[in-house]
Amino acid sequence: MSDPGPTSLQPGLPAAAARAGTRPAAGARSALPGPPSFARTVRPDAPGGAAPEGAVAVARPAVERILRGPTGLGTTSLRLRRKDREEPAAPEEPTASGAPAPGSPIPGLYHHPVPEPDQARVAEVSERIKRWAVDEVQAYPPEWEDQFDGFSVGRYMVACHPDAPAVDHLMIATRLMVAENAVDDCYCEDHGGSPIGLGSRLLLAHTALDPLHTTGEYEPAWLASLQSDAPRRAYRSAMEYFVRDSSDSQADRYRHDMARLHLGYLAEAAWAQEDHVPEVWEYLAMRQFNNFRPCPTITDTVGGYELPAELHALPAMQRVIALAGNATTIVNDLYSYTKELNSPGRHLNLPVVIAEREGVSDKDAYLKAVEVHNDLMHAFESEAAALAAACPVPTVLRFLRGVAVWVDGNHYWHRTNTYRYSLPDFW
Ligand SMILES: CC(C)=CCC/C(C)=C(\C)COP(=O)(O)OP(=O)(O)O
Ligand SMILES: [Mg+2]
């Protein structure tokens, strides 16, 4: 059964055009057939868009944390509010010995706990995403079902997008997340992936996001190619749904972020092919591209509003987004450390690179990677607070809050995904 999608509030008028009050030229969007657009719950004139009742309350502590700003000499002017703020979790003290209990946070990792994700939403997203993966795009063969379920993508996306007005909005993010992981698993990693020939596979798959514009003679072969493997089917379909409910500039933002991601995959593959361990800063540069960034940066589409392109492009906003993406991705390096240690070959992650390039023990390297993460988190929060103070536009504040809750939800998912991850015994 295909994902039905609710009826548009303005039948026949794509969401972006409805928001802008204009009708796009025929053929301005992808020529590919796709799913119906669902209703936007946002009034075009509502600054920052309307969140469902309760959603803002859930997200409120995060913006207060952003608005709290940095502490220390000379930073008072960056702090907008001083009351009712959420405090970060108290740092976990290392246990006497052994690995922390399953589901525990990494000792000493600076993070913010999130409320348990809404169980009704998790159940509905989980059910709908499986129908989409199996029936619409055949994303995985039956023997991978346990791994698909163990990934818990519904719980992940509900935790990361508490301000999504409805499940339809959550489905936008969830389909993209499954598609992004299908590409990573099947092209790059342990489900048939390899560095050999990766550039060609990624480029051709990228055309499912950023369509080929070619002549009538060659278009049918390209269209057929988009159905020829699970990663491309998943990218194509997830992008179709996304484009129906995003503005043109949000779609362009996403394509740019995915091009960044693919560039990062290629650098990682090049080093794997040569069994090369980069310097730590070089690794961090690669991981800034091979990064979760495309997920938090759709927070406004999933929230049913738009951060205007010129505000997204602000250098200060770009820095905040990069710092947040880097912190979320180093969280992955830390929680997936033992999984990657046990996988075939050498899998680069920040602790492995620090140990190799700085000549320290595995434990010291891991603990240093925790510090790098914490520094990135603190920088993200300071810079977000400074931007919020300098540019207190409702869409900017809501977007910053959306990125911050994505960071927290991502940590929650990594911490609690004991099917996939376990911690080393460094404490
Ligand atoms: C969802 C998304 C855009 C992912 C892009 C990059 C990516 C696959 C990660 C940041 C996760 O890293 P990794 O490949 O190390 O994942 P696991 O550790 O295998 O979970
Ligand atoms: Mg990893």
Instruction: List the domain boundaries for the chain.
Output: 47-83+104-416
Ligand 1: centre distance to CA 287 (Å): 10
Ligand 1: centre distance to CA 119 (Å): 25
The per-residue pLDDT for range 108-118, each reduced to its tens digit, is 999 999 999 99
Q: Of the bound ligands, which one is closest to the alpha carbon of residue 287?
A: 1
Neighbouring residues of 221: CB distance < 8 A, sequence distance ≥ 6 = none
What value of ipTM does the predicted structure carry? 0.98
Pocket test for ligand 1, best of 332, 346, 413, 417 (most atoms within 8 A of CB): 332
Q: Which ligand 1 atom sits nearest the alpha carbon of residue 336?
A: 18
Model confidence pTM above 0.90? no
Cβ of residue 261 lying under 6 Å from some atom of ligand 1: yes
Contact 405, 303 (CB under 8 A): no
The per-residue pLDDT for range 105-150, each reduced to its tens digit, is 999 999 999 999 999 999 999 999 999 999 999 999 999 999 999 9
Record the tokens describing residue 6, joined without a space: 């609710």
Please tell me the number of Cα atoms within 13 Å of 11 on its side-chain side: 1
Cβ of residue 171 lying under 6 Å from some atom of ligand 1: no
As a whole number of angstroms, the distance between CA 375 and CA 322 comes to: 13
Neighbouring residues of 88: CB distance < 8 A, sequence distance ≥ 6 = 65, 110, 111, 112
* pLDDT for residue 267: 97
Fold classification of 47-83+104-416 is: Farnesyl Diphosphate Synthase (1.10.600)
**pLDDT band for position 97 (50/70/90)?**
low
Q: Of the bound ligands, which one is closest to the alpha carbon of residue 292?
A: 1
As a whole number of angstroms, the distance between CA 5 and CA 31 comes to: 20
Ligand 2: centre distance to CA 418 (Å): 14
Ligand 2: centre distance to CA 125 (Å): 24
**What burial class does residue 276 get, using C-beta atoms within 10 Å of its C-beta: 0-12 exposed, 13-18 middle, 19+ buried?**
exposed
As a whole number of angstroms, the distance between CA 194 and CA 272 comes to: 9
Residue whose C-alpha is closest to residue 166's, from 114, 128, 115, 209: 128
The per-residue pLDDT for range 219-232, each reduced to its tens digit, is 999 999 999 999 99
CA 290 to chain CA centroid, nearest Å = 11
As a whole number of angstroms, the distance between CA 203 and CA 20 comes to: 32
Cβ of residue 336 lying under 6 Å from some atom of ligand 1: yes
Contact 169, 299 (CB under 8 A): no
Cβ of residue 266 lying under 6 Å from some atom of ligand 1: no
Contact 133, 114 (CB under 8 A): no
Q: Which ligand 1 atom sits nearest the alpha carbon of residue 177?
A: 1
Residue closest via CA to ligand 1's atom 11 equals 332
Q: Which ligand 1 atom sits nearest the alpha carbon of residue 184?
A: 8
Residue closest via CA to ligand 1's atom 12 equals 332
Instruction: Count other Cβ atoms within 10 Å, centred on residue 207.
Output: 18
As a whole number of angstroms, the distance between CA 27 and CA 54 comes to: 39
DSSP 53: T
Please tell me the number of Cα atoms within 13 Å of 191 on its side-chain side: 17
Instruction: Count other Cβ atoms within 10 Å, centred on residue 310.
Output: 9
The per-residue pLDDT for range 273-326, each reduced to its tens digit, is 999 999 999 999 999 999 999 999 999 999 999 999 999 999 999 999 999 999
The per-residue pLDDT for range 156-175, each reduced to its tens digit, is 999 999 999 999 999 999 99
Q: What are the Cα distances from residue 341, in Å, to 108, 118, 426?
A: 21, 34, 14
Rg (CA), the chain: 21
Q: Which ligand 1 atom sits nearest the alpha carbon of residue 349?
A: 15
Residue 93 phi, psi dihedral angles, 5° rounding: -80, 140
Q: Amino acid letter at 341? A: L
Residue 329 phi, psi dihedral angles, 5° rounding: -80, -35
The DSSP-derived string for 270-311 is: HHHHTT----HHHHHHHHHHSSSTTTGGGHHHHHT----HHH
- H or E element in which residue 235 lies: helix 230-244
Residue 144 phi, psi dihedral angles, 5° rounding: -100, 10
Is the model more confident about 317 or about 197?
317
- H or E element in which residue 167 lies: helix 167-183
As a whole number of angstroms, the distance between CA 168 and CA 166 comes to: 5
Ligand 1: centre distance to CA 348 (Å): 12
